[in-house]
Amino acid sequence: MPTELLFRQDAYLRETPAAVEAVNERGGIILDRTVFYATGGGQPGDVGHLVRADGSLIAIGTTIYDPEDKSRVIHVSLEGQPLPAPGENVTAALDWERRLKRMRIHTALHLLSVVLPYPVTGGSIGDGDGRLDFDIPEGGLDKAEVAEKLNALVARHADVTERWITDEELDANPGLVKTMSVKPPRGSGRVRLVAIGDIDLQPCGGTHVRNTAEIGLVAVTDIEKKGKQNRRVRIALA
Ligand SMILES: [Zn+2]
């Protein structure tokens, strides 16, 4: 059974009741549904706890997609944790503070790709900081200038919304997606587009804040040269 991905419908859901479907020999726990984001798109898997019926906790160190069946999510318990039995009912509860920081940074990185409209070659999201790597032909990027433009977009208090289109609609309307640096996930027949007001529209399966106001002030902490045509731009929540 595929895991029901509640974070896709509501990134603000902090916990959910769930049933244990399977437990592997490496301490990986598969639930029927989850609020835990699984590692992907440069965003690390969520951390948190499973709460058992007796109130005891199982600490989850990260979350990944099952390499053998990508439709299932594995909650990777920390070493030495007690493991639940298949069929057991638990509450899956996120480390919300950490997730919210990741959501703020993730959404800010969408805006950074608007400030710097160059092909993105990589990126990663941390707890309160993150980076994008750009294919930029010449240098001359100024940290203060990038920060000013980024914060101006944050200050527009734009709503972040999503909509799904079919693979065929995407193929027929390539102009729908401004930034094709992130390849839309294919195969399910549908693509999830994330819009930030009229500022940005791109395919993304990650978790975002509801409005750019929630990002708050952002600092550009570093612009690093990575090879002849690459610039790594690091940002952090101020
Ligand atoms: Zn995103």
Q: Is the CB of residue 194 less than 8 Å from the CB of residue 109? A: no
Q: Which residues of the chain have pLDDT under 50?
A: 180
Q: What is the pLDDT of residues 100-113, one digit of tens each?
A: 999 999 999 999 99
Length of the chain: 238
pLDDT value for 180: 46
CA of 31 to the centre of ligand 1 (A): 24
CA of 234 to the centre of ligand 1 (A): 17
CA of 139 to the centre of ligand 1 (A): 26
Cα separation, 150 vs 221, in Å, equals 13
pLDDT value for 229: 82
CA of 194 to the centre of ligand 1 (A): 7
Q: Whole-model pTM?
A: 0.92
φ and ψ at residue 37, rounded to 5 degrees: -70, 130
pLDDT value for 120: 87
* Nearest alpha-carbon partner for 110 in 9, 223, 212: 212
pLDDT value for 156: 98
CA of 201 to the centre of ligand 1 (A): 10
What domains sit in the chain, N to C, each tagged with a CATH number? 4-94 (2.40.30.130), 99-237 (3.30.980.10)
Write b or e for each residue in 130-160: b if 16 or more Cβ atoms lie within 10 A of its Cβ, otherwise e.
bbbbbebeeeebeeeebbebbbebbeeebeb
pLDDT value for 223: 94
pLDDT value for 2: 94
DSSP state of 73: E
